[in-house]
Structure 1
Amino acid sequence: MENSFNPFDNPSNRVLVAQSTEVERVAFYKKTYAHVAGGVLLFVLFEYVLLQSSAIVEFALSMTQGYRWLLLLGGFMLITNYAESTALKTTDKNLQYMAYAGYVFAEAFIFIPLIFIAIAYTDGQGFAILQQAGIVTLTLFAGLSAVVLMTKKDFSFLRSALTIGFFIAIGLIIAGSLFGFNLGLWFSVGMCVLAGGSILYQTSNLVHRFTTEDYIPAAIGLFASLMLLFWYVLRIFMSRD
């Protein structure tokens, strides 16, 4: 679920955020985080609509068993890669928005089993758990983003470590699905650390890698990292019950 953007080769008519004026940088950051917020709202809307259909919920739950979960993850990764590459390779905002919306829908679908279980099997505390996990996730996201935006530090050095970490995580997920063992609390904690590193890396790209017109692909990268963090924060909260 890691997001690894390689920003556009910078054409002559594009200005890197790092080389732009203060006014242009602030406008870029506002657009980017507004699109992240829009992605979160669209995710909530998609999730609500999907959970209203018992057929969709049953199908999503059936996909969490054994190799089916691996197929679902594989399909999700394909959609992720398509959305990322589309948003990065085109300057057509309509296509970028379509890629973003498609990615948000894929996130909403893959979250169905986790959110359904959180609501249905936590002794009536499901909505409180979702709220608590959401607050913790947004607080961590805001704090990590602020660190980068305030210090302007380049966290691109994290890319290799994140790539290795996510490959290890994927290997463990595959092993757990095939051999039926629970990865447990500490795996979720480790994934939260990886997600935090991904937020630092993606926010660093805002400052050092993107141009002032790349706010949609930048938002996709941040949204992906945010949702990865939310997934494992929610798992940690659910493990307490």
Structure 2
Amino acid sequence: MEEFKQILPVSALSDDKRVAFYRKTYTHLAMAVLLFVIVEWVFFQIEPIVNLAFSLTEGWRWFIMLGGFMLITNYAEKMAHKNHNINQQYLGLLLYVIAEAFIFIPLIGIAMMIAESGGANILNQAAILTLSLFTGLSAIVLITKKDFSFLKSMLTIGFFIALGLIVAGLIFGFNLGLWFSVGMVILASGSILYQTSNMVHKYSEDQYVGASLGLFASLMLLFWYILSILSRE
């Protein structure tokens, strides 16, 4: 009976347990965002790390950055999503946050340079827009309790197309442009709906860390492309 309870989805739990799960999930999401900010700040205090991150954006080296990021985050997701060991879940979340902080160095560095040269503080603007959109999309799922699992196939196809375009852009040297970033914002928004729906309908009571990682991944994807759009202005 004990094992059966552990595999019950959150939607099948009592109201008190469901609310407790949501609270834990969003608390861990907030902690992940705070940790991202701290790790990012630490990275920017270490010049060799900043130089390394910027050097990996040049030509074929971006393949190394992108490939390494995908391998690390895929491993972290497996640790956090498929393992009921809480220590493994925390390690997966920590690894994911560090990987995100590293790959964000060049984009945040550009945003900081724009602000220092008299431009708008696009970091703050991107953060506000991202959190506003994320909150609105999450509220849709939590209020309606609609199951958005049907988005999985569309998101998978969309991400493969996006990855193909990114690789093609690197190989043939063309800029993907504003509309690609807009398309990725739409894709990231769909991912937020999907991940929030998973939190409600898929995860079990002890997987709040894994649920927070899924939400964090979608949040950071949205932040990346909103910041990319604002950086073009």
Of 198, 214, 224 in structure 2, the residue corresponding to residue 221 of structure 1 is 214
Match of 2:4 in 1: 12
Superposed displacement of residue 36, structure 1:
0.5
Letter in 1 for 2:55: S
Of 37, 59, 63 in structure 2, the residue corresponding to residue 66 of structure 1 is 59
State TM-score, norm by structure 1.
0.92
Match of 1:6 in 2: none
- Secondary structure in structure 2 of the residue aligned to 1:13: helix
Cα 1:83–1:11 shift into 2, 3 Å: farther
- Secondary structure in structure 2 of the residue aligned to 1:12: helix
Superposed displacement of residue 224, structure 1:
0.1
**Do the aligned residues in 2 keep the contact of 1:65 with 1:177 (CA within 8 Å)?**
no
Which deviations, in whole Å up to 9, do the C-alpha atoms of 1:20-49 show, x marking residues without a partner?
011111111010011110000000000000
Unaligned runs of 5+ in 1: 1-9
Of 172, 183, 200 in structure 1, the residue corresponding to residue 193 of structure 2 is 200
Deviates more, 1:85-94 or 1:102-111: 85-94
- Write the distance in 2 (CA, Å) between the matches of 1:125 and 1:36: 30
Could you list the runs of 4 or more consecutive aligned residues of structure 1 that deviate by over 3 angstroms after TM superposition?
none
Of 108, 114, 138 in structure 2, the residue corresponding to residue 115 of structure 1 is 108
Superposed displacement of residue 138, structure 1:
0.3
Match of 2:44 in 1: 51
Identity %: 60
**Do the aligned residues in 2 keep the contact of 1:195 with 1:228 (CA within 8 Å)?**
yes
Letter in 2 for 1:76: F
Of 15, 26, 36 in structure 1, the residue corresponding to residue 19 of structure 2 is 26
Of 106, 125, 128 in structure 2, the residue corresponding to residue 132 of structure 1 is 125
Match of 1:85 in 2: 78
- How many pairs are equivalent? 230
State TM-score, norm by structure 2.
0.96
Match of 2:171 in 1: 178
- Write the distance in 2 (CA, Å) between the matches of 1:23 and 1:62: 50
Superposed displacement of residue 12, structure 1:
1.2
Letter in 1 for 2:43: L
**Do the aligned residues in 2 keep the contact of 1:144 with 1:196 (CA within 8 Å)?**
yes
- Write the distance in 1 (CA, Å) between the matches of 2:214 and 2:73: 10
**Do the aligned residues in 2 keep the contact of 1:87 with 1:95 (CA within 8 Å)?**
yes
- Write the distance in 2 (CA, Å) between the matches of 1:130 and 1:237: 9
Superposed displacement of residue 11, structure 1:
4.6
Match of 1:209 in 2: 202
Deviates more, 1:90-99 or 1:224-233: 90-99
Letter in 2 for 1:94: N
Match of 1:145 in 2: 138
- Write the distance in 1 (CA, Å) between the matches of 2:174 and 2:101: 25
- Secondary structure in structure 1 of the residue aligned to 2:27: helix
- Write the distance in 1 (CA, Å) between the matches of 2:134 and 2:40: 21
